[in-house]
């Protein structure tokens, strides 16, 4: 198991990419200028000791040296020991509505991103709690099984979107029934399901599913995102804005927050509803629920004693840098005789 101590330095690899692009550009530019000046045979006679291979090799050594030094800054750590530790927490499942209406920008940056922000910030504040994520629209799918790996939960959450679900709509009943399968610890008495949605196009027949969930001791809380005034649904392809969704009559479709539906779901699930447009208050609402819940103790196996590995990458970076310093761009006579790099003497 490994950890990355300073992921912010990964951006420095952009420098490596820029250097590679610049090098390729310079090589092609030099060749073009050389061809304009003279032909390749005459050029080799004018500079018989110049080695194109060594020039490339020196550049690769610099790139490798820079890359390893950047990795050293990132400082990957390796877990050297697997321990069983005791943790306390509750089981939480987030059901995230990823239907097209969640792309409406009446709640900046849009409803879906607002919902993801709420989930992400709640995960940041979790202790030993286990978390799982469901996405749903016309169908419901498990995005992440219940786990104590909060970093993985946030990573999977970032990829959640309408394209993950094959059909549109809002199959809340499917999401409720799928949530039942997430809680795999029979002894856990505190189970929470948080549904984040705009409440639009929800199936009306969710009573039976909500009862089944409640019978398993799962409390249902709903979080509404969007506004009563509503807004249009943007259509984008590869990040490019194409227009707004229209109905069969060619009129603009306006999607609105339907909190009555969400309140009804929460009521049937013995939970509560909160308007999610204020991120801070919403997180406080969820925190109060979780803090007041009784925490169950359970055992988890995890890696510990993570040791720094940056020194190996510093060493490799410096080694390649030293090799670059001592490697000349001219042809080496004894290597030239061996002809390892096809550096034939064409001056004869």
Q: Specify whether the CB–CB gap between 286 and 93 falls below 8 A.
A: no
> Dihedral through CA 283, CA 192, CA 213, CA 120, nearest 10?
50
Output the six-digit token pair for 123: 């995960």
What is the residue extent of each domain of the chain?
2-75+309-338, 88-301
pLDDT value at residue 206: 83
pLDDT along the chain (348 residues), means of 10: 79 92 88 69 58 78 92 81 68 94 93 96 90 92 91 92 79 89 80 93 75 92 95 86 88 92 92 94 94 73 66 89 74 52 48
pLDDT value at residue 222: 96
Give every CB contact of residue 156 below 8 A, 6+ residues apart in sequence: 133, 143, 144
CA separation for the pair 335, 181 (Å, rounded): 68
Bridge pairing between strands 191-197 and 218-224: parallel
pLDDT value at residue 347: 42
Please say whether the structural domain 88-301 has been given the CATH code 1.20.1370.20. Answer: no
CA separation for the pair 96, 143 (Å, rounded): 10
pLDDT value at residue 328: 63
Q: Which of 105, 97, 116 is nearest to 279 (CA)?
A: 116
CA separation for the pair 14, 50 (Å, rounded): 31
- What is the DSSP-derived secondary structure letter of residue 238? T
3-class DSSP assignment, residue 146: strand
Give Rg (Cα) of the chain.
Answer: 30
pLDDT value at residue 254: 93
3-class DSSP assignment, residue 321: helix
pLDDT value at residue 214: 92
270's enclosing H/E stretch is none
Q: Specify whether the CB–CB gap between 163 and 169 falls below 8 A.
A: no
What does pTM read for this prediction? 0.63
CA separation for the pair 152, 127 (Å, rounded): 15
pLDDT value at residue 29: 85
């Amino acid at each position: 198991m490994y950890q990355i101590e300073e992921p912010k330095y990964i951006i420095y690899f952009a420098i490596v990419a820029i250097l590679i692009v610049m090098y390729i550009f310079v090589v092609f530019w030099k060749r073009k200028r050389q061809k304009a000046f003279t032909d390749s045979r005459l050029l080799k006679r004018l500079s018989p000791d110049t080695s194109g291979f060594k020039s490339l090799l020196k550049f690769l050594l610099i790139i490798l040296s820079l890359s390893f030094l950047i990795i050293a800054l990132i400082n990957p750590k390796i877990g050297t020991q697997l321990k069983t530790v005791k943790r306390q927490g509750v089981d939480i499942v987030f059901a995230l509505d990823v239907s097209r209406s969640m792309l409406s920008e009446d709640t900046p940056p849009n409803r879906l991103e607002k919902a993801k922000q709420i989930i992400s910030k709640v995960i940041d504040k979790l202790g030993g709690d286990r978390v799982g994520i469901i996405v749903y629209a016309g169908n419901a799918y498990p995005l992440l099984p219940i786990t104590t790996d909060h970093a993985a939960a946030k990573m999977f959450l970032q990829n959640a979107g309408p394209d993950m679900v094959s059909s549109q709509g809002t199959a809340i009943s499917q999401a409720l029934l799928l949530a039942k399968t997430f809680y795999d610890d029979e002894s856990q008495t505190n189970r929470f399901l948080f549904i984040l949605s705009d409440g639009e196009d929800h199936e009306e027949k969710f009573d039976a599913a909500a009862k089944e969930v409640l019978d398993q001791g799962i409390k249902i809380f709903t979080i509404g995102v969007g506004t009563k005034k509503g807004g249009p649904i943007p259509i984008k392809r590869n990040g490019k804005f194409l227009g707004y969704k229209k109905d069969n009559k060619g009129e603009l479709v306006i999607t609105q927050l339907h909190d009555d539906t969400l309140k009804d779901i929460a009521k049937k699930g013995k939970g509560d509803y909160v308007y999610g447009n204020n991120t801070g208050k919403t997180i406080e609402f969820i925190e109060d629920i979780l803090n007041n819940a009784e925490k169950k103790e359970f055992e988890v196996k995890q890696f510990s004693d993570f040791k720094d590995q940056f020194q190996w990458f510093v060493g490799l970076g410096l080694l390649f840098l030293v090799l670059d310093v001592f490697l000349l761009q001219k042809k080496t006579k004894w290597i030239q005789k061996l002809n390892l790099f096809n550096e034939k003497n064409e001056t004869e």
